[in-house]
Structures are given as C-alpha cells and as structure tokens.
Structure 1
Amino acid sequence: MDTALLDLPAPTAARLRRPGWRDPRLLAGIALVAAAVALGAWAVRSAQATVPVYATRAVLVPGTSVDAAALVVVDVRLPEIASGGYLSALEPLPEDVVALRTVGAGELVPQDAVGAAADVALRPVAIPVRAAPSDAVVPGAVVDVWFTPARPTGAGSDDAPAAELAPRALATAVTVAEVRRPDGAFSASGASVVHVLVPQDALEPLLEALSADGGLDVLPVPGGAR
C-alpha cells in the first residue's frame, strides 16, 4: 500500500453560518416585505376611501334649475371620481346655475353639465299633439317632431300637390322637457302637450306649423330616453 495516500489531511466539512443583521441579503428581504405591506395597506385604504358628490333626484334637462331640491348627496369611491370631474358636495352649490345638457335620473352630475342660463342655446316649445304620445315620451327623452298639413276643403281641394300634403320633420333629435297628459274628466277629449327644447335655428318652421292647419306628432327616437 502507498503510505503517501494515508498522510493526506482529511477534508473539513463546510459549516453554514447564520446570517447576521448586517447581511445585505437579509436587509434587502426585510425592505421588500415592508414595502409590500405598506403598498397593500395603501391599496386597501384607497379602495375604502369615499368622497361626497351630487347626483340627480330626477332627470335634469337643459335649462332646469340645479339646486339642493334637485340633487342628492352620494358617497363614491376615490378611483371612480378621480378623473370624472363631477360636482363635489364638499363645496357649496353655485348660485343660479342650470343644467346645460341632459343628466339622467340617479346619475352623478358632471361639472361641465351645469352653467349659466345664458349658456343654454335651446328654447322650450309646447307642442299640442294630435294623438296621445308614446309612453317612451318622457322628460329627458329624445324625439322628432313631425307636421302633417291638413287637406284643404272646397273647390279645387283635390288638385293640391301631394308634396304639400306629405308629413315632414320639423325638428329632429330634440329633448323632451315636460309632458302634460290629460287626466280625469278631460282624458278622453283633451290633447296632450309635449314641451320640447329646440335649437334656435329650428324655431321658425316649428312656430309656423303651430299656427298652420294640420297635426303635430312627437315620435320617440329609439334608445334616446335617459
């Protein structure tokens, strides 16, 4: 036997050292855990935080006064309100403001949906309709207004051009502000009146039709109700 092999030193087993508090790896791990805990706590607080904003009690149509009677305060989560630009209930309501565009019932009120009455470029017109309007004709609904001329009577009435007697649209995609339906003893004979908000450039033909012989109809635009 070769005695040189017996003289070699026996290998020493390496021992794992317990990491100390100054070990960079331990410090980095603690920092990551602390950051994760802080981020989670912040996310929970943000998700639970709410702010009070105004919502509508009923439909607001252009020109409607926006005051405490027309609004209700609701609490919404911060992420939902952060980029929305809604009317905050933390501040007093502006005085003498009206709705500039239609806001549906129960909806949050955008800040740009209210302003001064002079900014409303619409005018209310009362339309006495010849037939009871559809149930879809409600405040906030979008409708078209049509006029059907009356057929002339007397000599030469049959010679009237067909184009002059054809129904024609007087205003399209206008908003309903109010609907008055007869009730009680007047429900059988009374006429319904639909108040619509009309742009100024559409007022002239509509006013002419109101004083002419014929019938007016208000037809709802599908999907236009708020």
Structure 2
Amino acid sequence: MDSAVLDLPAPVAQRLRRPGWRDPRLLVGVAMVAGSVALGAWAVQQAQHTVPVYVARDALVPGQRLGPDDVVVADVQLGAGELEHYLSAQEPLPTDAVVVRVVGDDELVPADAVGGAGDLDVRAVAIPLERAPSRDVTVGALVDVWFTPAAGSADEPAAPPRQLAQALPVSEVVRPERGLGGVDGTAVHVVVPEEQMPQVLAALASDGVLDVVAVPGTGG
C-alpha cells in the first residue's frame, strides 16, 4: 500500500449546531408562520363581518310609499364602499319615503330607489282589459301597452294595433270574479311617465281595445 495514502489526515466529523435565535433562516420561518396566522385571523374576521340592510318584502313600484311593512332587515356581507349604494338598516326608514323605481321582491333596496314625492315624474293609470292578461302580468313586472282601434264601417279598413308605451311597471292587478254577464272587469294599473300620458289617456277615451303584454323575464 502506498505510504502516502496512509499519511493523509483523517477527516474530522462536522457536528450539527442548533440554530440560534439570530439565525436568518429561523427568523424567516417565524415571520412566515406569524404572517399566516395573522392572515387567517383577518380572513375569519372579514367573513363574520356583516351589516344590516333593508330588503324588499314584495316588489316595490314607483309611487309607492315605503313603510316598515314593505321591507325586512337582513345581515349581509358587503365589500368596501358598497354599503353606501343600499338602504342601511342601521338608520330608520326616511320619513315620507317614496319608491322612485322598481325594486324586485327579496332584493336589497338601493339607496337611489327611494326619494320623495317631488322626485316622481310618473303617474299610475288603470288600464281596463277586455281580455285576461297572462300570468306574467304581476306587480313589479314590466309590460307593453297596446291599443287596437274599434272596427270602422265596411268601407273603411280596420286600423292595425299600435303600441302606446313600452316597459311600464305594474303597480296593481285587479282580477274580479267573472260576473253573470261575462264581463271580467280586470284592470292593470301601470306607472306611466308624464310625457307618455297624452297618448295613453287618448286611447282610454277612444273606441277600441287595450292590452298589456308582459316583457319576458320580468314577472310571473
């Protein structure tokens, strides 16, 4: 055996040293654990944070006076800046509050859907019907109003139906029981913008038939 190999010094075993508090790796690990704990606590706190807001018990329509019986209070989670867009239940309902646009049933009440009577530029009008409306014509639904003029003389062609108004909110539906004479007496109350009132009132005063047609997906 080569004597040079025998003369090589034996390797000295390195002992593992326990890391001290000043070891950067230990400090980084502690920081990561603390950050994870803090992040988890923040997430749990945010998940449990809710605010009370008003929710429509049934559909709300323009011109309707808003009272305590029309809403319920629900605790919901809203992101930063979202609460101001809805009617907070942390305060009582505004005095003499009036609905100024349609709010669906079980919908959070938007803050801009409530105002005063002076904010309304619509009026409720009863449309008497000779034909029963579809089941989709319900309170809060949107309907188009059509008018079919009465037939003229034999020498005059019948005028075609014409649309009087589009997407009017329904505020009330009256369906009396059919009488002995066969007159149904159904009437649908719709909310009409002031600029469309002349043509609607003119049709009501004319000979002919009025119909309301539900806008798909808005009622039923």
Q: Distance in 1 between matches of 2:124 and 2:208?
A: 21
Deviates more, 1:3-12 or 1:106-115: 3-12
Say if 1:42 and 1:121 are closer, same or farther in 2 by CA, change over 3 A: same
Correspondent of 2:156 among 160, 169, 174: 160
After superposition, what is the alpha-carbon deviation per residue over 1:29-56, rounded to whole angstroms, capped at 9, x for unaligned? Answer: 1111011011011101211222111101
Task: Give 1:5 deviation, angstroms.
Answer: 4.1
Say if 1:43 and 1:200 are closer, same or farther in 2 by CA, change over 3 A: same
Matched position secondary structure for 2:203: helix
Correspondent of 2:212 among 207, 218, 221: 218
Matched position secondary structure for 1:124: strand
Matched position secondary structure for 2:102: coil
Task: Give 1:8 deviation, angstroms.
Answer: 3.3
Aligned equivalent of 2:117: 117
Aligned equivalent of 2:32: 32
Matched position secondary structure for 1:158: coil
The aligned length equals 219
For structure 1, list consecutive stretches of 5 or more residues without a partner in the other structure: none
Task: Give 1:140 deviation, angstroms.
Answer: 0.8
TM normalised by structure 2 equals 0.91
Q: Distance in 2 between matches of 1:168 and 1:192?
A: 21
Q: Which has the higher helix share?
A: 1
Aligned equivalent of 2:175: 181
Alignment of 1:78-157 (within 5 A): 78-79=78-79, 83=82, 85-152=85-152, 157=153
Q: Distance in 1 between matches of 2:181 and 2:26?
A: 84
What code does the residue aligned with 1:159 have? D
After superposition, what is the alpha-carbon deviation per residue over 1:64-123, rounded to whole angstroms, capped at 9, x for unaligned? Answer: 1122121100111244x8526211111222111211211111111111111122222211
Q: Distance in 2 between matches of 1:112 and 1:206?
A: 28
1:172 aligns with 2:171: no
For structure 2, list consecutive stretches of 5 or more residues without a partner in the other structure: none
Matched position secondary structure for 2:154: helix
Task: Give 1:144 deviation, angstroms.
Answer: 1.0
Aligned equivalent of 2:203: 209
Percent of pairs with identical residues? 57
Say if 1:186 and 1:21 are closer, same or farther in 2 by CA, change over 3 A: farther
Is the 2:178–2:185 contact (alpha carbons within 8 Å) kept by the matching residues of 1? no
Correspondent of 1:200 among 175, 184, 194: 194
Task: Give 1:4 deviation, angstroms.
Answer: 4.6
Say if 1:185 and 1:213 are closer, same or farther in 2 by CA, change over 3 A: closer
Say if 1:134 and 1:71 are closer, same or farther in 2 by CA, change over 3 A: same
Pairwise CA RMSD: 2.1
Is the 1:139–1:176 contact (alpha carbons within 8 Å) kept by the matching residues of 2? yes
What code does the residue aligned with 1:83 have? E
What code does the residue aligned with 2:156 have? A
Q: Distance in 1 between matches of 2:136 and 2:166?
A: 16
TM normalised by structure 1 equals 0.89
Task: Give 1:187 deviation, angstroms.
Answer: 9.2
Say if 1:186 and 1:31 are closer, same or farther in 2 by CA, change over 3 A: farther
Say if 1:148 and 1:2 are closer, same or farther in 2 by CA, change over 3 A: closer
